[in-house]
């Protein structure tokens, strides 16, 4: 894995992590086209650069993370369902992660849902995440469990979950960003521990690539979040639905054409 490939994957991560378009699907295309899916370091890299994306949320919403203990209680409550499901069904999730076909189908189905979701949830009365109560946080947390199916999109599932609980598009997106911090940190820590336990050792060059990747993912994620919040508030999900359908269709077409796509 070279510097150019590092930059490409980091940019993909930064753009797709918080948009409802599935970072997994884009990592499949990016790594497969660059021919680096067989590199063990790539698998570790795609997990480790999530730290940069996590930090972007903390920086952008710095004041919110130091506002009250109640904020953290809500995040813990929302995080618990995915933590439990992750432990109970880790083997099944790992099996799903090996299926590019499953990712393509999830992208297509999720895209169709996003075409109509703005019409389904039109009555929002929670316009500030401070007004989210504990039960609502728990319900959104259960929606996040759906995102354990590769290609679904964690942000997409939790935003729709928030809108189903009468959050506005903006507040649902922001709560999704906040919930990503403990969720992605836990997933990254677990994967890093698994690699460490398996005896995976980073070289000096790989450490440099990780540092660069995290910085790039951090910057791009900040820009993506700002764009997404503004766009979502004005125009809704429809364009993301069509985009998911196109990406899912491309992956499906490549698989049918005999291309050996792999999930990193």
Tens of each residue's pLDDT in the chain, 264 residues:
889 999 999 999 999 988 998 887 788 778 877 877 667 788 788 888 988 998 999 999 998 888 889 999 999 999 999 889 877 776 666 665 567 788 888 899 999 999 998 888 878 778 888 899 999 999 999 999 888 887 888 888 999 999 999 999 899 999 999 999 998 888 888 877 877 787 777 888 989 999 999 999 999 999 999 999 889 888 889 999 999 999 899 888 988 888 776 655
Query: What pLDDT does 262 receive?
Result: 61
Token reading at 30: 């990016």
pLDDT of residue 90: 66
The domain locations on the chain are 3-256
The whole-angstrom separation of Cα 58 and Cα 213 is: 18
Cβ(213)–Cβ(31) under 8 Å? no
Comparing C-alpha atoms, which of 185, 191, 182, 113 is closest to residue 152?
113
Half-sphere exposure of residue 3: CA atoms within 13 angstroms, side-chain side: 3
Contact of 243 with 111, CB cutoff 8 Å: yes
What is the Cα–Cα distance from 90 to 4, expressed in whole angstroms? Answer: 33
* Separation between Cα atoms, residue 203 and residue 211, nearest integer Å: 12
The pLDDT, as a whole number, for residue 241 is 94
Q: How far apart are the first and last CA of the chain?
A: 13
pTM: 0.86
Q: Is 40 exposed, middle or buried (0-12, 13-18, 19+ CB in 10 A)?
A: exposed
| Angstrom distances, CA of residue 206 to CA of 28, 82, 143 | 21, 31, 36
Spatial separation of the C-alpha atoms in residues 191 and 169, rounded to whole Å: 31
Q: Which two tokens stand for residue 48?
A: 């480790």
Residues in the chain: 264
pLDDT score at 251: 86
Q: How confident is the model at residue 234, as a pLDDT?
A: 85
Angle at 124 between CA 159 and CA 75, to 5 degrees: 40
């Amino acid at each position: 894995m070279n510097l150019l490939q590092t930059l490409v994957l980091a940019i993909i991560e930064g753009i797709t992590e918080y948009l409802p378009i599935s970072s997994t699907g884009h990592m499949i295309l990016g790594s497969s086209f660059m021919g680096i899916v067989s590199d063990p370091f790539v698998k570790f890299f795609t997990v480790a650069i999530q730290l940069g994306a996590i930090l972007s949320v903390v920086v952008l919403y710095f004041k919110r993370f130091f506002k009250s203990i109640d904020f953290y209680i809500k995040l813990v409550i929302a995080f618990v369902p995915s933590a439990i499901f992750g432990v109970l069904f880790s083997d099944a999730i790992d099996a799903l992660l090996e299926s590019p076909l499953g990712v393509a189908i999830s992208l297509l189905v999720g895209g169709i849902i996003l075409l109509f979701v703005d019409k389904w949830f039109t009555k929002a009365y929670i316009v500030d995440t401070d007004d989210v109560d504990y039960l609502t946080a728990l319900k959104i947390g259960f929606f996040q469990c759906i995102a354990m199916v590769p290609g679904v999109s964690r942000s997409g599932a939790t935003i729709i979950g928030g809108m189903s609980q009468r959050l506005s598009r903006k507040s649902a997106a922001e709560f999704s960003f906040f919930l990503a911090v403990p969720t992605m940190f836990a997933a990254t820590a677990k994967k890093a521990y698994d690699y460490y336990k398996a005896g995976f050792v980073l070289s000096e060059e790989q450490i440099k690539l990780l540092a660069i990747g995290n910085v790039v993912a951090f910057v791009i994620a900040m820009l993506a979040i700002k764009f997404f919040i503004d766009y979502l508030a004005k125009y809704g999900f429809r364009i993301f639905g069509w985009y998911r359908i196109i990406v899912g269709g491309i992956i499906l077409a490549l698989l049918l054409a005999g291309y050996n796509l792999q999930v990193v």
